[in-house]
C-alpha cells in the first residue's frame, strides 16, 4: 500500500513539473465604449509578448490591418460606420512568442464599441423648440477673430530642414557645413492676419545653434517653431577605429531613449550603452559605441526606426551559415544585414541591446517586420531538452524511492 502511495506521489510531482506556467499576456482594448457615427477612436493591442498581429474589423475601418508588438502596446485608429456596433479582432500570427522567445498562442481577442447618435444640446434648442413669438435676431455680430497660428511655409536658403516642413511639426534640425556664419530664415503665415517674429538673417557659431520662429494669431494665440542648427566644427579629439581616424563632435543629437551627459567628451547614455557622435575621414557622421574603461570605440551603430521603435544596428561581424553580408535599405536607412541564401526575403541584423550585448534579429522584407532570430530555431528544441531532463530526474527519484522501500521491507523481515 505504501509503495502505491509513493508511486502516485511521484507521478503527481512529475505532472506539476512538466506543466508550463504561462507568464505572457496579450490583450486588446478601446479608449471609448461609445462613438458617434463616422467618428474615430483608438484601440491598444499588445502585452508581454513579441510578434505580428493581424487586425480585422466589422462595421468600420482600420488605419492598419496588422501591427508588430514587442513587449508593449501599439495604438491603431478605428473609424466607425453609421450605426450598430464596431468589433475589432486581433489574431497573433505564426511565430508569436512571449518575452523570453517561447512560442505563445493566446488566440484571438476582440473589443466592441457601440455607435451612438449624438445627444441633442438642451442649451441650443432646435427651430421646432423655439417660441413662435420670438423675433429673429437682426443685429450684426462681430466677426470672430482667427486662432490660426500656423505657418504656411518655412525655409532656410542655406540648407534643408529635417523633417520636411509640415505646419503641425514644430521642431526641426538643420546640418550646415563648416565655416557657415549666418542663415536667412523665410516664413509665411497660414492666415493673413497672423504676425511672425524671428524670420530674418541669423548669425551662427560653430556647433549647436537654436532658431525660434514665433507665430501670433489674430486672437493673440501664439505658436513657436524651433530649428536646431548644427554647424560642423573641427573635432578637438580624434580616436582610431577600423584603420581610420574618427573625430568626436560635441553635437546635440536627439536619439530615442538616450540622455546626453558631459564628461571629458559628450556621451549619450542608455543603461549600459555609451555613444559618441563622430565624423570619419569621408566627412560622414555616425554614432559609435564608446568603451569608458579603455577610452576607445568598440563599434559603429546605425539607429533604425522600425515598428515604432528605434533599434541600434551594429557593424560587428557575426558568423552565420548560409548568409551573405550586404547593405540593404530599411525605411530609407542603409544598414548591414546578413542575407539568407535560401530565401532573399530574410536577413539577419546584429542589434545592440540595452545591456550592451549584440543579439541577432530576423528581418522579413515583404512584411517589413523584425523579431528575435531564436524564435524559429531554438524554442522547440530547448523545450524538448528541458522535458527530457525533467523525465530523467523524476525517474531517478522514483528508482531511489523503490530502493529505499525495498531495504525497509527487508529490514522488517
What are the tens digits of pLDDT across the range 86-125? 999 999 988 788 877 788 888 899 999 998 877 655 555 5
* 244 and 360, same domain (yes or no): yes
For residue 144, what pLDDT is reported? 87
Identify the CATH number of the domain in which residue 93 sits. 2.60.40.10
User: Is the full-model pTM beyond 0.75?
Assistant: no
Does 70 score more than 70 pLDDT?
yes
Task: Name the residue with higher pLDDT: 359 or 389.
Answer: 359
* 257 and 157, same domain (yes or no): no
For residue 120, what pLDDT is reported? 59
Per-residue pLDDT band for 135 (boundaries 50, 70, 90) equals low
Does residue 385 belong to any structural domain of this protein? no
* 254 and 319, same domain (yes or no): yes
* 104 and 157, same domain (yes or no): no
Q: Any idea which of 102-116, 206-220, 236-250, 253-267 has the lowest mean pLDDT?
A: 253-267
Does residue 51 belong to any structural domain of this protein? yes
Does 20 score more than 50 pLDDT?
no
For residue 74, what pLDDT is reported? 87
Does 11 score more than 60 pLDDT?
no
How many domains in the chain?
Answer: 3
Single residue among 231, 246, 266 that ends a domain in this structure: 231
Does residue 395 belong to any structural domain of this protein? no
Distance of CA 372 to the CA centre of its chain: 15
Does residue 167 belong to any structural domain of this protein? yes
Per-residue pLDDT band for 18 (boundaries 50, 70, 90) equals very low
List pLDDT tens digits, range 264-311: 788 889 888 999 998 888 878 899 999 988 989 999 999 998 888 889
**Selection from 7-11, 279-283, 300-304, 338-342 with the highest mean pLDDT:** 300-304
* 101 and 212, same domain (yes or no): no
For residue 240, what pLDDT is reported? 92
Domain residues for the domain of 187 are 151-231
Single residue among 210, 231, 252 that ends a domain in this structure: 231
* 104 and 198, same domain (yes or no): no
* 258 and 363, same domain (yes or no): yes
For residue 24, what pLDDT is reported? 77
List pLDDT tens digits, range 302-325: 999 888 888 999 998 888 888 888
For residue 138, what pLDDT is reported? 47
Identify the CATH number of the domain in which residue 205 sits. 2.60.40
* 100 and 186, same domain (yes or no): no
Q: Any idea which of 144-158, 190-204, 205-219, 374-388 has the lowest mean pLDDT?
A: 374-388
Mean pLDDT on 72-92: 89
* 243 and 308, same domain (yes or no): yes
Task: Name the residue with higher pLDDT: 250 or 217.
Answer: 217
Rounded Cα gap, residues 362 and 338, in angstroms? 9
Single residue among 200, 231, 262 that ends a domain in this structure: 231
Mean pLDDT on 361-369: 88
Amino acid at each position: 500500500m505504501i509503495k502505491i502511495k509513493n508511486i502516485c506521489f511521484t507521478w503527481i510531482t512529475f505532472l506539476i513539473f512538466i506543466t508550463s506556467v504561462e507568464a505572457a499576456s496579450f490583450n486588446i482594448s478601446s479608449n471609448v465604449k461609445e462613438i458617434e457615427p463616422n467618428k474615430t477612436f483608438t484601440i491598444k493591442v499588445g502585452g508581454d509578448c513579441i510578434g505580428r498581429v493581424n487586425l480585422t474589423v466589422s462595421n468600420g475601418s482600420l488605419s492598419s490591418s496588422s501591427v508588430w508588438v514587442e513587449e508593449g502596446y501599439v495604438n491603431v485608429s478605428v473609424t466607425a460606420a453609421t450605426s450598430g456596433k464596431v468589433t475589432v479582432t486581433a489574431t497573433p500570427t505564426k511565430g508569436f512568442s512571449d518575452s523570453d522567445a517561447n512560442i505563445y498562442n493566446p488566440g484571438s481577442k476582440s473589443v466592441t464599441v457601440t455607435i451612438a447618435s449624438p445627444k441633442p444640446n438642451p442649451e441650443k434648442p432646435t427651430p421646432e423648440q423655439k417660441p413662435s413669438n420670438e423675433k429673429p435676431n437682426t443685429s450684426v455680430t462681430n466677426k470672430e477673430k482667427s486662432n490660426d497660428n500656423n505657418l504656411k511655409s518655412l525655409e532656410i536658403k542655406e540648407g534643408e530642414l529635417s523633417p520636411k516642413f509640415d505646419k503641425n511639426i514644430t521642431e526641426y534640425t538643420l546640418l550646415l557645413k563648416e565655416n557657415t556664419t549666418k542663415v536667412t530664415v523665410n516664413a509665411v503665415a497660414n492666415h493673413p492676419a497672423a504676425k511672425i517674429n524671428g524670420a530674418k538673417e541669423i548669425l551662427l557659431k560653430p556647433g549647436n545653434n537654436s532658431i525660434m520662429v514665433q507665430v501670433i494669431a489674430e486672437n493673440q494665440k501664439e505658436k513657436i517653431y524651433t530649428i536646431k542648427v548644427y554647424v560642423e566644427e573641427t573635432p578637438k579629439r580624434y580616436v582610431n577605429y577600423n584603420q581610420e581616424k574618427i573625430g568626436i563632435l560635441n553635437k546635440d543629437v536627439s536619439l530615442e531613449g538616450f540622455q546626453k551627459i558631459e564628461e571629458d567628451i559628450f556621451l549619450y547614455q542608455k543603461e549600459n550603452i555609451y555613444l559618441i557622435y563622430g565624423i570619419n575621414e569621408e566627412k560622414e557622421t555616425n554614432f559609435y559605441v564608446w568603451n569608458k574603461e579603455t577610452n576607445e570605440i568598440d563599434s559603429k551603430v546605425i539607429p533604425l526606426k522600425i515598428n515604432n521603435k528605434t533599434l541600434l544596428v551594429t557593424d560587428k561581424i557575426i558568423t552565420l551559415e548560409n548568409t551573405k553580408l550586404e547593405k540593404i535599405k530599411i525605411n530609407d536607412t542603409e544598414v548591414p544585414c546578413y542575407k539568407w541564401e535560401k530565401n532573399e526575403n530574410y536577413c539577419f541584423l546584429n542589434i545592440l541591446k540595452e545591456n550592451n550585448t549584440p543579439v541577432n534579429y530576423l528581418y522579413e522584407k515583404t512584411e517589413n517586420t523584425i523579431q528575435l532570430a531564436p524564435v524559429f530555431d531554438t524554442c522547440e528544441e530547448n523545450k524538448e531538452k528541458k522535458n527530457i531532463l525533467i523525465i530523467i530526474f523524476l525517474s531517478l527519484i522514483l528508482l531511489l524511492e523503490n530502493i529505499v522501500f525495498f531495504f525497509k521491507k527487508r529490514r522488517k523481515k
